[in-house]
Chain A
């Protein structure tokens, strides 16, 4: 009797079928939007009465007013301060560049190699030396030095600002709560979106390039530093406090030394972030490899690719070198004795002497600031050009693969989706997206979504934004189709993980724009290069997050499933993937944000839409239009983030 009753209540509380749950509701909203599309196609565009038409013009005037006031002989205090910052940044980069040039190529090479040899060991030093040889072979010594100076300046300033703030955030909960939403927001904004404001404030030049990089690289520096300080065992901090340490003593003697690994990781990550901005910085006056890439984009693609490769070499060399130095200088692992310390001091002195000697010899033999005696650059460029020609030639078999694939993508994916997003009546689209945000993520994200869409419409970018959105959607679908299965595979198989790791490492160090260049030639159909490049850019992160999520599923439920005799597939589908759902959703969220970043950059090379407006703004000084497009990119980024953020933030906060 009791059993029968229990069975009855169980049956009554059986889960609802999926179409009555949240998924069903989302699907219903989507169907509603599609019906609106077919019913009132192109009939309800964003109304002119709801756009702020004069805004673009006003912004142009504002920019003109700024530059007029800035360039007068005696500018006001405010402008003087601003000019001061811009000049300081310009000078810093200039000074560093001329310092490396003064060392001569010989001195620079020996300095770089020996610093890494002293602190990072032989392997890392060999890597750095190889990088120098490659730069010389490529004939890119001059832009490499300029890029390094730019990166060095940006990284030092980022750390100078980011680490103290990170320490503060690590020690004060209140400050952490204050900065977290700001950092979150900064991470959503595609780098391309803040070029315009920076150019207006700093005008084009190395200073603007440094400023852009700072905005991009400071947030991770703050985040990782704070994480490091918070990761110091409470016990140890308590022990110091119990012994009567002051706040400063606790920080200097306990927290900083014990957070050392994370502090150095923040240096490493800041370098990689700064390097990935080098190409974009090239658009606004950052000299070096970045400007070689951007200027070669249309005129000399082989040169652009070569410079891109040099950036990758630099990124890998710096990454490995800083990692090796971080590990090799860790006192907790090295266990130095007094004797060893003395030997090391001698070693340091010897290295310094060797650098001095190299510089002296450089001058004695007239080495010059740049290596230019023998390079293989012509040979390399010819090879690259031949590959590009081959790929593009309609007579080769590659063309018979790439061309139909590209056309197929446009015809059945991008083009219909574009017309769907652009031509659907705007109220249906806006409120549909709002309701979907509500269903997936809750009330506040839904309100944010609506506000952001209103901002897009108000700034007269509705059509462009919907165009961009359609590209983002196609690219995201591909990213997930590639990323989730590969991520699960990497989590399940050690061999797969080991094979993928170096590939993912390299893909993640590539600057965003460098992804696009090969595809311009491989897929000479507009829109397609941007989409494919963004898949390549976002997939590694999705793979990593999914892999980590699946692998970190606790072993207990997996063991339990095994003990019931579940097959591998059953364990995967019924235990691991459901338990890793949050990580996978985070992957979707991150993936979509990264896709957006590349899709807008692809506006430079024919993807049109929002990115094109920014590119035009930069290249033809259409400031107002560029700023509005930037604002729309920002709004679109926030919209996409809020729709896909799910309810995970709440859940993560709880744990």
Chain B
């Protein structure tokens, strides 16, 4: 029973699918170029990139993308550079105007919003963290963190107090009076995180926030995001080109290629059954036992098997190995208190063997 408690702590947050999704994206397009509207809606829009560019001189950065993000979910968009992922996240709050499609955040139609409504949404509902931090070099760290509140017109005393609290949250309580150029890259991005958190948004948008950082610091920052996510329960849309990062953070992952989503699913769905060769090439080097959970490899319980050691069905294969090694019997995968399937040694070995 102790094993179950351990894994569920590591698994962290619960996604809330009881009500409506927090973000709803329907058929969003972004075509750059002067004749974007002429291409939109014609069969030409589906042409491969090079041909579209040749024929109309415009570039389709995002093509017909739809998805939903639920409250408290971490939704990762993954793709190589030029796949349109950064454009996509900018269209969500119309930093880049989408050419077509509909976006809804927290029940508000973003695509139809007036400038005032849009500003209101950006001030109170969403927040964004950028790849190159986008800090203000002429202001102290604490003023950078308070910037969003300053934009909203919060009084100076109040916003500095709030900024101080947030700085403590990200472990920078001693750096408030320093200037951005006195901090390391990792610390600067912590300031970026703090600035986004300071306005207490419902939705956090991350645009490749850690791509510019060293691998070791990147790992620290990922842990930081997981921790903050756990503590605050924000909904996140996270853009990355790094598959391990996507698998580590994402509840669900959308893989983009040439502006379109080629597969959308949980990490184990991507690793366990890639939709096409492109995704397969991506996930080939990922150790399956690190991603696949018991749910993926379990079979139905035969009579008499229900009394083996119990593990949460969301435990990864890797974490189940010590238990199965120590036990003579097959493991029972449980969801709550109900046994939903069993996993025997053979299943675990097959899963690991599939990694080669």
Q: Interface residues, chain A, CB within 8 Å of chain B?
A: 233, 235-236, 238-246, 249, 253-254, 257-258, 260, 330-332, 335, 337
Q: In the assembled complex, how far is the CB of residue B133 from the closest CB belonging to chain A, in whole angstroms?
A: 7
Chain A, residue nearest B180 (CB): A332
A235 touches B134 (CB 8 A): yes
Q: In the assembled complex, how far is the CB of residue B139 from the closest CB belonging to chain A, in whole angstroms?
A: 8
Contacts beyond the supplied A244-B119, A257-B138: 7 A-B pairs with Cβ under 8 Å = A236-B136, A238-B90, A240-B147, A243-B127, A244-B123, A332-B137, A332-B181
Chain B, residue nearest A238 (CB): B95
A243 touches B179 (CB 8 A): no
Is B274 in the interface zone, CB < 8 Å from A?
no
Residues of B within 8 A of A242 (CB): 93, 95, 122, 126-128, 205
Q: How many A-B residue pairs have CB under 8 A?
A: 76
A240 touches B138 (CB 8 A): no
Looking at the complex, which of B1-9, B69-77, B148-156, B292-300 is the stretch in contact with chain A?
B148-156
> Would you list which residues of chain B between 19 and 77 have a CB under 8 Å from chain A?
none
A236 touches B199 (CB 8 A): no
Residues of A within 8 A of B90 (CB): 238
**Cβ proximity bits B220-261 to A, threshold 8 Å, 1 near / 0 not:** 000000000000000000000000000000000000000000
Q: Can you show 19 pairs from A to B with CB atoms below 8 A apart?
A: A233-B134, A235-B131, A235-B134, A238-B90, A238-B130, A239-B134, A239-B135, A240-B151, A241-B122, A242-B93, A243-B195, A243-B199, A244-B124, A244-B148, A244-B151, A253-B151, A257-B138, A330-B138, A335-B182
Residues of B within 8 A of A241 (CB): 95, 122
Q: How far is the CA of A335 from the CA of B124 in the complex (A)?
A: 31
Q: How far is the CA of A216 from the CA of B128 in the complex (A)?
A: 44
Q: How far is the CA of A220 from the CA of B107 in the complex (A)?
A: 50
Q: Known: A242-B122, A244-B151, A253-B150. Is A337-B177 also a contact (CB below 8 A)?
A: yes
B136 touches A254 (CB 8 A): yes
Q: In the assembled complex, how far is the CB of residue A327 from the closest CB belonging to chain B, in whole angstroms?
A: 13
Q: In the assembled complex, how far is the CB of residue A231 from the closest CB belonging to chain B, in whole angstroms?
A: 13
Q: Interface residues, chain B, CB within 8 Å of chain A?
A: 90, 93, 95, 119-124, 126-128, 130-139, 147-148, 150-152, 177-179, 181-182, 192, 195, 199, 205
Q: Which of A243, A245, A258 contacts B138 (CB 8 A)?
A: A258
Residues of A within 8 A of B128 (CB): 238-239, 242-243
B134 touches A243 (CB 8 A): no
A246 touches B119 (CB 8 A): yes
Chain B, residue nearest A330 (CB): B138
Q: Which of A243, A246, A258 contacts B148 (CB 8 A)?
A: A243
Chain A, residue nearest B177 (CB): A337
- Chain A contact surface mostly: helix
Q: Which 7 A-B pairs have the closest CB atoms?
A: A244-B123, A244-B122, A239-B134, A235-B134, A332-B137, A242-B128, A243-B148
Chain A, residue nearest B150 (CB): A253
Chain A, residue nearest B149 (CB): A243
Q: How far is the CA of A408 from the CA of B2 in the complex (A)?
A: 103
Q: How far is the CA of A173 from the CA of B136 in the complex (A)?
A: 24
Q: How far is the CA of A240 from the CA of B195 in the complex (A)?
A: 11
B130 touches A239 (CB 8 A): yes
Q: Known: A239-B130, A337-B177. Is A258-B136 also a contact (CB below 8 A)?
A: yes
Chain A, residue nearest B152 (CB): A244
Residues of A within 8 A of B148 (CB): 243-244
B135 touches A335 (CB 8 A): no
Chain A, residue nearest B140 (CB): A335
Q: How far is the CA of A243 from the CA of B132 in the complex (A)?
A: 16
Q: How far is the CA of A500 from the CA of B244 in the complex (A)?
A: 54
B122 touches A238 (CB 8 A): no
Q: How far is the CA of A236 from the CA of B129 in the complex (A)?
A: 11
Q: How far is the CA of A482 from the CA of B136 in the complex (A)?
A: 45
B179 touches A332 (CB 8 A): yes
Q: How far is the CA of A262 from the CA of B48 in the complex (A)?
A: 42
Residues of A within 8 A of B132 (CB): 233, 235
Chain B, residue nearest A254 (CB): B136
Residues of A within 8 A of B123 (CB): 243-244
Q: How far is the CA of A129 from the CA of B205 in the complex (A)?
A: 55
Q: How far is the CA of A239 from the CA of B130 in the complex (A)?
A: 7
Q: In the assembled complex, how far is the CB of residue B89 from the closest CB belonging to chain A, in whole angstroms?
A: 10
Residues of A within 8 A of B182 (CB): 335
Q: How far is the CA of A253 from the CA of B147 in the complex (A)?
A: 9
Q: In the assembled complex, how far is the CB of residue A565 from the closest CB belonging to chain B, in whole angstroms?
A: 36
Q: How far is the CA of A332 from the CA of B132 in the complex (A)?
A: 17
Chain A, residue nearest B198 (CB): A243
B127 touches A332 (CB 8 A): no
Residues of A within 8 A of B95 (CB): 238, 241-242
A236 touches B134 (CB 8 A): yes
Chain B, residue nearest A337 (CB): B177
> Which of B122, B126, B133, B134 has its CB near the most chain A CB atoms (within 10 A)?
B134
Q: In the assembled complex, how far is the CB of residue A641 from the closest CB belonging to chain B, in whole angstroms?
A: 30
A249 touches B136 (CB 8 A): no
Q: How far is the CA of A244 from the CA of B179 in the complex (A)?
A: 23
Q: In the assembled complex, how far is the CB of residue A263 from the closest CB belonging to chain B, in whole angstroms?
A: 12
Chain A, residue nearest B153 (CB): A249
Q: How far is the CA of A233 from the CA of B136 in the complex (A)?
A: 10
Q: How far is the CA of A240 from the CA of B93 in the complex (A)?
A: 13
Q: How far is the CA of A24 from the CA of B133 in the complex (A)?
A: 54
> Which of A238, A241, A243, A335 has its CB near the most chain B CB atoms (within 10 A)?
A243
Q: Known: A258-B137, A335-B179. Is A243-B122 also a contact (CB below 8 A)?
A: yes
Q: How far is the CA of A86 from the CA of B200 in the complex (A)?
A: 57
Q: How far is the CA of A117 from the CA of B93 in the complex (A)?
A: 48
